[in-house]
Amino acid sequence: MKIIGAGRYVSSMTAVATDEAFFALVEPLRGELTAHCYRMLGSVHDAQDLVQETYLRAWRAYGKFEQRSSIRTWMYQIATNTCLTALQSSARRPMPTGLGQPSSDPIGRLDSNPEMTWLEPIPDSVVWGPGETADPAAQVVARESVRLAFVAALQHLTPQQRAVVILRDVLAWRASEVAELLEMTTAGVNSTLQRARAHLGKLAPDQATERPVDEHGQDLLERYVAAFENYDVSGIVSLLKEDAVWEMPPFTGWYQGAAGIGQLISLNCPASGPGDMRLVPTSANGQPAFAVYMRDADGVHRAFQIQLLTVTDNAVSHVAAYFDLRLFATFGLPQQL
């Protein structure tokens, strides 16, 4: 009995050691795997759930891991298959600009569709960790790969096309490696990639002029905050590119042109004067973002929306304003100030 008991104890200790070894290897990959699942799904919440599912599947299979590839490659294989399974029962997540309709009249009615599964932003802290201070130049590939415009364009591809583009163009896998994972021929992977790239070229705007925020960009963002907090609509308009785009899920319309966006804000923003809005800086998709809090009748500033900005040519060229208040918790932000 003692021998059996000792055997069970040793077995238990071995299992604990194996678990510790497994998590020591895979936990540093959580951020990049979350970004990978986010590119595939377009939802930070779904991505986090699927990373958990990936870790569970990997933990169960770790004893059979033969180290024919790196642990990183193996985890990406599991994550990709997990995402492809999830996408069998998921609809694509669009932005209002991706619904195929022309820009809306800024003085027209606002139509909302909260039942639609909209594309979500992903906090930078989820991908790179809280307080990430690494050189932006060293992260340019990773940041470009989660830009909102790129992820929105990916949503127009089939799940298989998304996987091929991400594995080949973002992760730099060889065509033969992708073919093995997706059970395709190498020629099939190359053909799929060519078609997907052509489609993306029509959908994704040229982001060549988009740069990490420098001193001039920081000054622009500070003036942007001041304009909103002072409810200075003309000041907001002056910081927008002439052909800037504004969209705000779950509202289905999108708006183009700085002057029209100014009209939209003037007619629909609940603020009435300086101090009604407060903006808290954050970041998402490798881009500057702000949590907007609106002052209620009781004087308390409560969560209102999260704005994700694209800055090009020293002006704001695109604003995605999200009214999904669940995102505040995802960003680690309070519901009221």
What are the tens digits of pLDDT across the range 230-239? 999 999 999 9
What is the full DSSP assignment across 168-184? IIIS---HHHHHHHHT-
68 vs 301, which has greater pLDDT? 301
Smallest Cα–Cα separation from 253: which of 71, 54, 112? 112
pLDDT value of position 260: 97
Q: Which residues does residue 277 pair with via DSSP β-bridges, in sequence order? A: 294
**176 to each of 185, 188, 202, 318, 320, how far by Cα in Å?**
8, 10, 27, 38, 38
7 pLDDT above the threshold of 60: no
90: pLDDT confidence band, cut at 50, 70 and 90? confident
Q: Is 211 exposed, middle or buried (0-12, 13-18, 19+ CB in 10 A)?
A: middle
- Closest among 213, 245, 232, 316 to 97, alpha carbons compared: 245
CA 329 – CA 334 distance, rounded (Å): 7
In SS3 terms, 236-248 reads as HHHCEEEEEEEEC
Return the bridge partners of 255, or none: 246
From CA 54, how far away is CA 69, in angstroms rounded? 17
Q: Decide if pLDDT at 32 tops 60.
A: yes
- Dump pLDDT digits (tens) for 199-222: 998 886 555 445 566 767 899 999
Q: Measured between alpha carbons, how far is 56 from 123 in angstroms, rounded to an integer?
A: 24
pLDDT band at 258 (very low <50, low <70, confident <90, very high): very high
* All structural domains of the chain: 2-87 (1.10.1740.10), 91-147+207-337 (3.10.450.50)
Q: What is the mean pLDDT of residues 138-164?
A: 87
| Whether pLDDT at 1 is above 50 | no
**pLDDT the model gives residue 13:** 45
Share of the chain above pLDDT 70, in %: 87
- Half-sphere exposure (Cβ direction) of 277: Cα atoms closer than 13 Å: 25
Give residue 54's pLDDT: 96
| Entry pTM | 0.89
List the beta bridge partners of residue 322: 306
